[in-house]
Amino acid sequence: MNLSTLCLCLLCEAPMTGYEIHGRIWNDLRHFQHASFGALYPALGKLKTAGFISTPPTGSSALAKKKFQITVTGRSELMARLSRLSGAESYRSEFLSALYFSNHMDLDAVETLINQRLSDHRQIRRHLRGLPIPAMTEGQRFTVRYALSIQSAAIDFLEGEGRAILAALKQERYQ
Protein backbone atom coordinates (compact mmCIF):
# COMPACT_ATOMS: atom_id res chain seq x y z
CA MET A 1 0.00 0.00 0.00
CA ASN A 2 1.44 3.36 -0.91
CA LEU A 3 1.77 6.14 1.62
CA SER A 4 -1.11 8.26 0.33
CA THR A 5 -3.52 5.31 0.56
CA LEU A 6 -2.27 4.59 4.06
CA CYS A 7 -2.92 8.23 5.01
CA LEU A 8 -6.48 7.96 3.70
CA CYS A 9 -6.99 4.80 5.77
CA LEU A 10 -5.74 6.49 8.93
CA LEU A 11 -7.84 9.58 8.30
CA CYS A 12 -10.92 7.36 7.92
CA GLU A 13 -10.48 6.56 11.60
CA ALA A 14 -10.22 10.18 12.78
CA PRO A 15 -8.92 13.61 11.77
CA MET A 16 -5.20 13.90 12.58
CA THR A 17 -2.27 16.25 12.29
CA GLY A 18 0.66 15.23 10.16
CA TYR A 19 2.57 14.57 13.36
CA GLU A 20 -0.21 12.26 14.61
CA ILE A 21 -0.27 10.37 11.30
CA HIS A 22 3.50 9.92 11.48
CA GLY A 23 3.14 8.71 15.08
CA ARG A 24 0.53 6.13 14.11
CA ILE A 25 2.74 4.84 11.31
CA TRP A 26 5.78 4.70 13.59
CA ASN A 27 4.02 3.22 16.62
CA ASP A 28 1.28 1.03 15.18
CA LEU A 29 2.31 0.20 11.63
CA ARG A 30 6.09 0.08 11.54
CA HIS A 31 6.01 -3.69 11.17
CA PHE A 32 4.93 -3.12 7.57
CA GLN A 33 5.24 0.58 6.69
CA HIS A 34 7.79 3.35 7.10
CA ALA A 35 7.35 7.03 6.37
CA SER A 36 9.58 9.99 6.99
CA PHE A 37 8.14 13.47 7.48
CA GLY A 38 9.86 14.29 4.18
CA ALA A 39 7.66 11.74 2.41
CA LEU A 40 4.52 12.21 4.50
CA TYR A 41 3.88 15.92 3.99
CA PRO A 42 4.19 15.83 0.19
CA ALA A 43 1.77 12.87 0.14
CA LEU A 44 -0.69 14.84 2.28
CA GLY A 45 -0.27 17.85 0.02
CA LYS A 46 -1.13 15.79 -3.06
CA LEU A 47 -4.17 14.31 -1.32
CA LYS A 48 -5.35 17.80 -0.37
CA THR A 49 -4.79 19.14 -3.92
CA ALA A 50 -6.82 16.22 -5.29
CA GLY A 51 -9.65 17.03 -2.86
CA PHE A 52 -9.34 13.74 -0.98
CA ILE A 53 -8.55 15.43 2.33
CA SER A 54 -9.16 18.87 3.78
CA THR A 55 -7.87 21.01 6.63
CA PRO A 56 -10.86 22.78 8.16
CA PRO A 57 -10.20 25.83 10.35
CA THR A 58 -9.27 24.77 13.89
CA GLY A 59 -9.74 27.93 15.89
CA SER A 60 -8.53 31.45 16.36
CA SER A 61 -4.85 30.77 16.94
CA ALA A 62 -2.58 31.24 13.93
CA LEU A 63 -0.32 28.62 15.49
CA ALA A 64 -3.04 25.95 15.72
CA LYS A 65 -1.94 22.69 14.16
CA LYS A 66 -3.68 21.68 10.97
CA LYS A 67 -5.82 18.61 11.34
CA PHE A 68 -6.35 16.69 8.15
CA GLN A 69 -9.66 14.97 7.57
CA ILE A 70 -10.86 12.75 4.77
CA THR A 71 -13.53 14.13 2.44
CA VAL A 72 -16.48 12.28 0.91
CA THR A 73 -14.50 12.16 -2.35
CA GLY A 74 -11.52 10.85 -0.39
CA ARG A 75 -13.59 8.02 1.10
CA SER A 76 -14.77 7.03 -2.38
CA GLU A 77 -11.19 7.14 -3.66
CA LEU A 78 -10.01 5.04 -0.71
CA MET A 79 -12.66 2.39 -1.36
CA ALA A 80 -11.62 2.27 -5.03
CA ARG A 81 -7.94 1.98 -4.09
CA LEU A 82 -8.57 -0.74 -1.53
CA SER A 83 -10.61 -2.75 -4.03
CA ARG A 84 -7.62 -2.73 -6.43
CA LEU A 85 -5.08 -4.06 -3.92
CA SER A 86 -3.75 -7.55 -4.47
CA GLY A 87 -2.42 -10.16 -2.08
CA ALA A 88 1.11 -9.65 -3.37
CA GLU A 89 3.85 -8.46 -1.07
CA SER A 90 6.82 -6.50 -2.31
CA TYR A 91 10.10 -7.03 -0.55
CA ARG A 92 13.36 -5.19 -1.04
CA SER A 93 16.28 -5.99 1.18
CA GLU A 94 19.79 -4.61 1.33
CA PHE A 95 20.56 -7.47 3.70
CA LEU A 96 19.58 -10.15 1.19
CA SER A 97 21.35 -8.30 -1.63
CA ALA A 98 24.55 -8.21 0.41
CA LEU A 99 24.29 -11.86 1.45
CA TYR A 100 23.69 -12.89 -2.16
CA PHE A 101 27.21 -11.63 -2.86
CA SER A 102 28.69 -12.73 0.47
CA ASN A 103 31.38 -14.74 -1.29
CA HIS A 104 32.98 -11.36 -2.10
CA MET A 105 32.70 -10.03 1.45
CA ASP A 106 34.95 -10.18 4.47
CA LEU A 107 33.74 -12.89 6.89
CA ASP A 108 33.52 -10.41 9.76
CA ALA A 109 31.30 -8.17 7.62
CA VAL A 110 29.00 -11.11 6.83
CA GLU A 111 28.79 -12.03 10.50
CA THR A 112 28.07 -8.41 11.44
CA LEU A 113 25.26 -8.21 8.88
CA ILE A 114 23.69 -11.41 10.17
CA ASN A 115 23.95 -10.26 13.78
CA GLN A 116 22.50 -6.83 12.94
CA ARG A 117 19.58 -8.40 11.10
CA LEU A 118 18.93 -10.79 13.99
CA SER A 119 18.96 -7.85 16.39
CA ASP A 120 16.54 -5.91 14.17
CA HIS A 121 14.11 -8.85 13.97
CA ARG A 122 14.25 -9.35 17.74
CA GLN A 123 13.58 -5.65 18.34
CA ILE A 124 10.60 -5.67 15.97
CA ARG A 125 9.25 -8.81 17.63
CA ARG A 126 9.55 -7.18 21.09
CA HIS A 127 7.70 -4.13 19.79
CA LEU A 128 4.93 -6.25 18.29
CA ARG A 129 4.53 -8.24 21.50
CA GLY A 130 4.12 -4.97 23.38
CA LEU A 131 1.22 -3.69 21.26
CA PRO A 132 -2.25 -3.56 22.88
CA ILE A 133 -3.59 -6.49 20.84
CA PRO A 134 -6.88 -6.96 22.78
CA ALA A 135 -7.85 -3.33 22.06
CA MET A 136 -7.23 -3.69 18.31
CA THR A 137 -9.63 -4.48 15.51
CA GLU A 138 -9.57 -7.98 14.07
CA GLY A 139 -7.69 -6.74 11.00
CA GLN A 140 -5.11 -5.02 13.18
CA ARG A 141 -4.68 -8.16 15.30
CA PHE A 142 -4.25 -10.21 12.13
CA THR A 143 -1.44 -7.97 10.85
CA VAL A 144 0.34 -8.10 14.20
CA ARG A 145 0.06 -11.89 14.43
CA TYR A 146 1.22 -12.22 10.81
CA ALA A 147 4.19 -9.93 11.44
CA LEU A 148 5.05 -11.83 14.63
CA SER A 149 5.07 -15.09 12.68
CA ILE A 150 7.37 -13.63 10.04
CA GLN A 151 9.73 -12.13 12.63
CA SER A 152 9.92 -15.40 14.59
CA ALA A 153 10.53 -17.43 11.43
CA ALA A 154 13.26 -15.00 10.34
CA ILE A 155 14.95 -15.24 13.75
CA ASP A 156 14.84 -19.05 13.68
CA PHE A 157 16.18 -19.09 10.13
CA LEU A 158 19.01 -16.65 10.81
CA GLU A 159 20.06 -18.40 14.02
CA GLY A 160 20.51 -21.66 12.11
CA GLU A 161 21.36 -20.62 8.57
CA GLY A 162 23.43 -17.64 9.69
CA ARG A 163 25.87 -20.01 11.36
CA ALA A 164 25.70 -22.34 8.38
CA ILE A 165 26.61 -19.70 5.79
CA LEU A 166 29.52 -18.50 7.92
CA ALA A 167 30.81 -22.07 8.25
CA ALA A 168 30.42 -22.66 4.50
CA LEU A 169 32.20 -19.40 3.61
CA LYS A 170 35.07 -20.25 6.00
CA GLN A 171 35.38 -23.68 4.49
CA GLU A 172 35.46 -22.26 0.92
CA ARG A 173 38.12 -19.72 1.80
CA TYR A 174 40.42 -21.95 3.80
CA GLN A 175 40.48 -24.99 1.52
Condensed to tens digits (0 to 9), the pLDDT of residues 3-20 reads 999 999 999 999 999 999
Q: What pLDDT, on a 0 to 100 scale, did the predictor assign at position 36?
A: 87
Exposed e or buried b per residue across 139-172, where buried means at least 16 C-beta atoms within 10 angstroms of its C-beta: eeeebbeebbebbeebbeebeeebeebbeebeee
The CATH number of domain 3-84 is 1.10.10.10: yes
- Provide the residue-wise pLDDT of the chain in tens; the chain has 175 residues: 899 999 999 999 999 999 999 999 988 887 778 888 899 999 999 999 999 999 987 665 655 688 999 999 999 999 999 999 888 887 778 999 999 999 899 999 999 999 999 999 999 999 999 999 999 999 999 999 999 999 999 999 999 999 899 999 989 888 7
Global confidence as pTM: 0.77
pLDDT value at residue 119: 97
